[in-house]
Amino acid sequence: MKKLFTIYYSLFTKIFACKFVEGILILLAAKVLVMLINSPSLKFFIEIFLIWTAQILIENICAKKFLALSVEVQTSVRKKLHEEIFQRELSGGELLIIIFDTVKTLDKFFTNLAPNIASTIILLPMFLICAAFTDLITAAILFVTLPIAPLLLYLIGKVTAEKNLRALNELQKLNGEFRELLSAVTTLKMFGRIDFAAEKLKSTSAKSSAATLEVLKFAFVSSFALELITTLSIALVAVTLGLRLVAGNIDFESALFLLLIAPEFFLSIRKLGIAFHVAVDAKTSYERLQKFLSRPKEKIGKVEKILMPPEIFVDNVTFIYPKKFRSTLENLTLKFPAGKVTALIGESGCGKSTLLKLLAGLNFPTSGEIFWNDLPTSKVQRESLISKIAYMPQAPHLFDVTLAENFSMLGQLDTKNLQSLLAELNLPLDLNATQKLSRGQLQRLGIVHAVLKDAPIIMLDEPTAGLDAENELRVLNLLKKFSLRKTIIITTHRQAVIDFADDVINLP
């Protein structure tokens, strides 16, 4: 947190400095341009060219700083989401909205809206003070007309916020229905219901488009009204200066200088109007993120007091997948002995992988309880639960980075130990390269992952499926080497693994 605060403070300081310098350059450019118009010379032309060049460079630097700030904030939010997301029951539509649209809106805020807000906060006072030192009447006109635009934005914003929330809800519904249609397209095709599902999706899409268009209408109206008000304000300044110049109440250089900075004075406000819908989206997204991340957590115990490795007891567990009518597991009661290797066998589709996911804490029983010794796992902190389990699915995933980076995600990487384990499993792979691997190689890498975690509970889902006898023997020898004081559960159909296990459970 301290490091993050230091990064934010540093970026905000640099942004403030850039905007302040940008304001100085704008005022300086206006002054030099007045002198150039009043008495044209090559010197003033070169000066104005250099000032404008410097202004463009400063704007680019400031834009990069806001982009860096956006990356830092998004990274921070995504880390929090990753910590929370697997502990929440979310619909597909809500999940897609939070991960993609909601977080992406933050990027639009920092790259589109925030620079204009910074300009408004920093440049407006600078220009107003400069105008006051030049001519009090013009400064008074600027000061009086300035609050009209923000007031208008506030009034329109109250109406637009409600419309924007409706658009987000419609989009969430559309995402959810589209996801469900994709997941069930085979079943719908079999029963001839694909046309009905497509019509339903089309109807939801039309509602989402209509809601989004309604928001954009209000955004357009607000931008138009803001442009009109600022244009009239600038025109009022110009007409006043022209009349006073004819009457001899102000000199030409001062009038021209004020006329040049008047559009710059209202420029940031006008840009805010253009980006108004981004502000509404950002506010709604921020409230959605706050609501999601601030949901109360159940305070539950830790694992440290449990004797490891534990005996695992499945007590009358039933599990039904969401939106399914039949249970995958029903009233199941099993016991896995502590410090032993247990082979979990049974016919394909009987629920072995589902049970392993329940034991690993990836899913939660619909009813019943899973115990570690005498402690129900539902009362264990999720972080503590995961830290004590090494789980390998049937199809281990490899990220598109080097092998060394994949394995360093577990923590500090012991390269010599990793290379030794790879050699034992006949995997002569380059740690510093990205590689496409066969399923058998991925399976063995998954086993290496599980072994390297050095957790007291190891759960392996079909770790030797598809391997030849030689490589299967290598895997079993490696597991035997690391099986001391570990509770190991392996789902399998292979006879060699069944013979290797200390205990065998046949899942009905």
CATH code for position 497: 3.40.50.300
Q: How confident is the model at residue 464 (pLDDT cuts 50, 70, 90)?
A: confident
Tell me: do 192 and 284 sit in the same domain.
yes
When divided into structural domains, the chain yields a total of 2
Report the residue count for the chain.
508
- 144 has pLDDT over 50: yes
Task: Give the pairing type, strands 312-319 and 367-372.
Answer: antiparallel
Position with higher pLDDT, 270 vs 486: 486
309, 485 in Cβ contact below 8 A? yes
In the structure, what pLDDT confidence band is assigned to residue 123 with cuts at 50, 70 and 90? confident
Has residue 455 been placed in a domain? yes
Q: Same structural domain for residues 364 and 407? A: yes
Determine, yes or no, domain membership for 298: no
Nearest to 265 by CA among 110, 151, 154, 129: 129
Least reliable range by pLDDT among 125-129, 130-134, 280-284, 297-301 = 297-301
Q: Tell me if 497 is assigned to some domain.
A: yes
Residue 65 lies in a domain: yes
Cα 177 from Cα 183, distance rounded (Å) = 10
Check whether residue 328 and residue 203 sit in a common domain. Answer: no
Instruction: Write out pLDDT tens, residues 71-101.
Output: 777 777 777 766 665 555 554 445 555 666 6
- The answer as to whether 304 is a domain residue is no
Q: CA nearest 119: which of 193, 55, 32?
A: 55
What is the pLDDT at residue 8?
52
* pLDDT, averaged across the chain: 77
Q: Is the pLDDT of residue 475 over 70?
A: yes
The confidence band for 131, taking pLDDT boundaries of 50, 70 and 90, is confident
Residue ending a domain, among 249, 266, 293, is 293
Same-domain pairing of 469 and 331: yes
Question: Please, is 334 exposed, middle or buried when counting C-beta atoms within 10 Å of its C-beta (0-12, 13-18, 19+)?
Answer: middle
349: left (phi over 0), alpha (psi -120 to 50) or beta: left
8 Å CB contact between 363 and 319: yes
Same domain? For 76 and 151 the reply is: yes
- Mean per-residue pLDDT for 257-282? 73
Query: Which domain range does residue 24 map to?
Result: 2-293
Contact of 328 with 319, CB cutoff 8 Å: yes
Question: Could you give the percent of the chain with pLDDT greater than 90?
Answer: 4
In contact, 230 and 149? CB cutoff 8 Å = yes
Asked whether the predicted pLDDT for residue 221 surpasses 60, the reply is yes
Mean pLDDT throughout 244-253?
83
**Cα–Cα dist 320/104, whole Å:** 34
Q: What is the mean pLDDT of residues 266-275?
A: 70
Q: Is residue 188 over pLDDT 70?
A: no
Q: Are 14 and 69 in contact (CB under 8 A)?
A: no
Pairing of strands 503-506, 487-491: unpaired
Tokens of 144: 């009086």
Q: How far apart are CA 270 and CA 148, in angstroms?
A: 12
In a domain, 300, yes or no: no
- Same domain, residue pair 119 and 8: yes
Residues 224 and 254 in one domain: yes
So what's the pLDDT on residue 300? 47
The last residue of a domain, from among 293, 324, 347: 293
pLDDT band at 490 (very low <50, low <70, confident <90, very high): very high
pLDDT value at 407 more than 70? yes
Q: Which of 265, 293, 321 is the last residue of a domain?
A: 293
**Same domain (yes/no): 327, 274:** no
pLDDT at residue 151, rounded to an integer = 73
Q: Is residue 343 part of a domain?
A: yes
Going from the C-alpha of 78 to that of each of 36, 53, 82, 361, the distances in angstroms are 52, 38, 6, 22
Highest mean pLDDT: which range of 254-258, 270-274, 285-289, 294-298: 254-258
If asked whether residues 288 and 153 sit together in one domain, one would say yes
- In this structure, what token pair is assigned to residue 458? 């190891």
Note the pLDDT tens digit of each residue in 36-51.
Answer: 887 787 887 888 888 8
What is residue 181's predicted lDDT score, i.e. its pLDDT?
A: 65
Provide the 3-class DSSP secondary structure of residue 114: helix
Query: Do 199 and 169 share a domain, yes or no?
Result: yes
Which residues touch 466 (CB under 8 Å, ≥6 apart)? 439, 440, 443
CA–CA separation, 233 and 239 (whole Å) = 10
CATH code for the domain of 125: 1.20.1560.10
Q: Are residues 320 and 228 in the same domain?
A: no
| pLDDT above 70 as % of the chain | 72
Task: Please report which confidence band the pLDDT of residue 4 belongs to, taking 50, 70 and 90 as the band edges.
Answer: very low
CA distance from start to end of the chain: 50
Q: Same structural domain for residues 261 and 350? A: no
> Is 212 domain-assigned?
yes
